[in-house]
Chains A and B, each alone.
Chain A
Amino acid sequence: MSDFESKGQRFIALCMLGMLLFNYPILALFNVSGTVFGVPVLYAYIFVAWVLLIVLMAFVAESDD
């Protein structure tokens, strides 16, 4: 049961991380003009952070239970 609980806690932490990443003020930091490899900074940030979050979720989800 403790494994199940710790997995749940990791997911809750990831959800909170996501809420932080996709919210004011972090979002405002990247809401600037300029481009990364030709892509506007904000778009690049959102997609990179999004994929990163999913990678972390995959890592936790596939950890043995």
Chain B
Amino acid sequence: MLHGTVIILTSFAYLGLLFAIAYYADKRADAGRSVIASPYIYSLSLAVYATAWTFYGSVGRAASDGVGFLPIYIGPTLMIALWWVVLRKILRISKQNRITSLADFIASRYGKSALLGGLVTVIAVIGILPYISLQLKAVSNSFTILVQYPEIIMPTQVGAAPIRQDTALWVALILATFTIAFGTRHLDAAEHHPGMVAAIAFESLVKLLAFLAVGLFVTFGIYGGFGDVFARAAAEPKLRAMLTPLEGVAGSYANWVWLTILSMMAIMFLPRQFQIAVIENVDEKHLNKAIWLFPLYMVAINVFVLPIAFGGLLRFPDGGVDADTFVLTLPMAEKQELLALLVFIGGLSAATGMVIVETIALSTMVCNDLVMPLLLRMRSLRLNERRDLTGLLLGIRRGAIVLILLLGYLYFRLAGEAYALVSIGLISFAAVAQFAPAMLGGIFWKGGTRAGALCGLLAGFAVWFYTLLLPALARSGWLPIGLLEHGPFGIELLKPLQLFGLSGLDQINHAMIWSMIANIGAYVGMSLSVSPSADEHRQASLFVDVFRQTGESGGARFWRGTASVPDLYGLLARFLGSAAADSAFGEYAGAKGLRWPDDRLVADAELVHHVEVQLAGAIGAASARIMMASVVKEEALTIDEVREILDEASQVVVYSHRLEQKSRELEAATADLREANERLKELDRLKDDFVSTVTHELRTPLTSIRAFTEILLEHPDVEIGQRKKFLGIITKETERLTRLINQVLDLAKIESGKAEWIESPIDLKEVISDTLAAMGQLFRENKITLDARLPERVSPVNADLDRMIQVMLNLLSNAVKFCDRANGRIGVALVERDGCLQVDVRDNGRGISLEDQAAIFNKFRQVGDTLTDKPQGSGLGLHISRQIVEHFGGRMWVESDFGSGACFSFALPAGAAADKRVA
């Protein structure tokens, strides 16, 4: 028999069990063997997303909308696919900055702004109230229904109870006590509640099992399986339309899409989801499992929603039973007492899980981001001087929990009856969706500023309030209903449900469209038009570039000022107690290889940052900032300095690029050196060659001189004609020897730079004429035709007259040597072009092959087959000539087609060009 007493006892037994689990988990965590250090517990605790709304409301929604309840769970699945990108980043940021709540996160991101943290807290509290009232409504309704067993009577028919006997109030008060016992037993520096997480994971199991039990009972107990339920529904004309529902009953595809987007935001930004997914997360790696286990949980808890909905509609065809209660009333109608009780406990677990986590998250926000910053600013309270503030902090949180639950109850009394469960919840979803621009913008866009976030949140919240909360109050009779029908002051354009004439949309979609336009518009617009402060700049960089930083010291780079260790320790001890302060300092000293309190610590930027982060963990970033200011004399960094520090970070990247470049340059230099070494070796080889060649060249004439003198010495009777011939050869060979030695000496002088150059303006035409005249005899002897083309006048060149004659002689005598034997012809031309005087000496010999052309100016290089042809010169002439020409800034080259003569040319700068060179 289900007496009220039995139900109440069972409920308290269940709550007691929860408390035992939490107590056990806390003890285990204190012993360092936390039960929540598991991805499975993490995944289950995330299922706090499924509340009484899911447990009772999904069936209610399905009974009117068919699949219309599913976007609430498909949306989160899509968002979870992005968790690897988004949540992992939020996790990392929160760990590094000791973020304690959603409000703390946003305040911290936008320059640790207390104002912004307060605003977020207010929005969150007001926005979540309908959601909390939903839980109260569900628990009190299910209790009221269950107490009537075996009758099935709706709470509305029972009539409004006087406030002292109102179940919802008692539920609110019991839950408040329970939550206080759960979440605020002591103050944890990191806001970790391992006991709570373990209890929530257990609750998730209970509600899933209860729902699956009732689902299996309805589908396979009352009916003959899925097919049977749907077949019977199809046979009912009233229900047939719901089987392909998207166009008709469930509204448009637009509704579906908006609901999906709304739930995507909700899974990220509901304070309780943020608390469980981010604050209570103990290991980033747990994400890997949670990413698929949690969506799977959502599938499991939704599989039986449609069969239960259709089963309920078939069982209670007259509409006298609220579809929101089918989960409970179906077992009751079938006289399944135990199952009904299990369902009630399942619903209770869904509601308590939500209320516990949500109120703990909200109370942290209220304490850290709303009350504490205000109290700390009130100098008359002299909070700075109090020795121990932990009691105060806990007191504020406990007060906040009671207040939030009572406000939730108030909303339930004011507006709860006008809406179905799901519609109440969606109002809260739309409220927390307002955090999306500031949050997502904050972690991916460095340009987002405090002013932008403030304006965006205010604008979005204002529109939400106007288009969702006001109508809810108006429908409940607390505001004139004319406001909805005719607009404020009769202005039709401002009707809350058809703002600016936008009609034809679901109320939630309508509010989402306008609030998002206002929110994103203001956020982006203000961010772009107001430039950020140094603080904002720094925080933006810390958040957006979180994966580029290493360790917790990221924030210390931005601090400059003076502080003392005892002051810092005192501050921490006041808020955390001296045990926690000791452990925080010990941890810091340990990382430095020191011992606390034996070794002296330096109150440098890093220690100050460490203390601030610890403090932020207890009282939020904005409050911590204020408190730190009381013991630390900080020199404000200017925006330029912050930029500079940020630049330093990017300079590291640049530096590594430079390092790469340097190593590339080094490689290039090595290659150059190797090349130079090769060239040196080559030169060394050339020197050896030179010495051996010179020796060889000297020996040839010497041998012939020696041979002839020996003949003359040993044969004094050689006839006079013969003797004259021999002596002639000896003289000629001696001359050749002298010439060779002179040339070697000459070359040595030129190459060592010791040669004397007498530079003066000379007329190159005269040089050529003189040389040709001097060689006239030689030409005639060899029967060579000379073709000289010399202009009337040419500009002078700066050069050594004798050297130039030497060059001309060399070129001409070479030409004579290599000229065609029978029909020799030599052409000499002088032209002035491009500020240069060019001399060509052309012969009609056999020419020079292409390979030889390159080598012919080298020392001792003689063209022709050295084996068959007798060498016709020293092999130094051309080399010396080229050296001379190059000395005067000119160049010398040869052009030749093999077989049709060669043309040696040189060019020297003339006139002005020559003067410039000399100058």
Contacts and interface: CB of A to CB of B under 8 A. Distances in A.
Contact of A54 (B70, B85, B299): B299
Nearest to A5: B85
A23 B255 CA distance: 11
Contact of B85 (A11, A19, A41): A11
A54 to B, nearest CB: 5
Contacts of A27: 246, 253, 256
Contacts of B70: 46
Interface string B803-840: 00000000000000000000000000000000000000
Give the interface size bracket for A toward B. Answer: 35 or more
Nearest to B233: A40
Contact of B247 (A31, A51, A53, A54): A31
A33 B287 CA distance: 39
A57 B291 contact: yes
Contacts of B78: 15, 18-19, 22
A65 B74 CA distance: 27
A31 B244 contact: yes
B80 A57 contact: yes
B227 A50 contact: no
B291 A58 contact: yes
Contacts of B81: 11-12, 14-15, 18, 53, 57
Contacts of B246: 27-28, 31, 42
Contacts of A51: 296, 299
Nearest to B290: A61
Contacts of A54: 77, 292, 295-296, 299
A22 B67 CA distance: 12
Output the residue of B71, B81, B245, B256 with the most chain A CB within 10 A. B81
Contacts of B244: 31-33, 40-42
A59 to B, nearest CB: 8
A62 B80 CA distance: 14
Interface in A7-51: 7-8, 11-12, 14-15, 18-19, 22-24, 27-28, 31-33, 35, 37-43, 46-47, 50-51
Nearest to A65: B288
Contacts of B289: 61-62
Contacts of A33: 243-244
A33 B778 CA distance: 118
B247 A35 contact: no
Contacts of A35: 227, 230
Contacts, number: 106
A47 B307 CA distance: 14
Contacts of B260: 22-23
A18 B77 contact: yes
A32 B247 CA distance: 10
Interface in B278-331: 287-289, 291-292, 295-296, 299, 303, 306
Nearest to A14: B81
A39 B84 contact: no
A22 B253 CA distance: 10
Given A27-B253, A35-B227, A46-B70, A7 B77 contact: no
Nearest to B70: A46
Contacts of B720: none
Given A22-B260, A33-B243, A43-B67, A28 B253 contact: yes
B38 to A, nearest CB: 16
B295 A57 contact: yes
Contacts of A50: 74, 77, 295, 299
A62 B292 CA distance: 9
A46 B80 CA distance: 17
B82 interface: yes
Interface in B197-216: none
A32 B245 CA distance: 9
A15 B71 CA distance: 14
B227 A39 contact: yes
A39 B82 CA distance: 31
B355 to A, nearest CB: 28
A55 B299 CA distance: 12
A39 B230 contact: yes
A46 B250 CA distance: 15
B242 to A, nearest CB: 9
Interface in B582-615: none
Contacts of A65: 288
A38 B85 contact: no
A31 B477 CA distance: 39
B228 interface: yes
A15 B82 contact: yes
Contact of B253 (A23, A39, A41): A23
Output the residue of A28, A37, A53 with the most chain B CB within 10 A. A53
B545 to A, nearest CB: 14
B225 interface: yes
Contact of B245 (A19, A23, A24, A42): A42
Interface of B: 67, 70-71, 74, 77-85, 225-228, 230-231, 243-247, 253, 256-257, 260, 287-289, 291-292, 295-296, 299, 303, 306
22 contacts: A15-B78, A15-B81, A15-B82, A18-B74, A22-B74, A22-B78, A24-B257, A31-B247, A33-B243, A37-B226, A38-B226, A38-B230, A39-B227, A39-B230, A42-B243, A42-B245, A46-B70, A47-B299, A50-B77, A55-B292, A57-B292, A61-B292
Given A24-B256, A62-B288, 17 more contacts: A8-B84, A8-B85, A11-B85, A12-B85, A14-B81, A24-B253, A31-B247, A35-B230, A39-B230, A40-B230, A41-B244, A42-B67, A42-B245, A50-B74, A50-B299, A54-B77, A57-B81
Q: 7 tightest A-B contacts by CB?
A: A38-B227, A58-B292, A15-B81, A24-B253, A61-B291, A18-B78, A11-B84
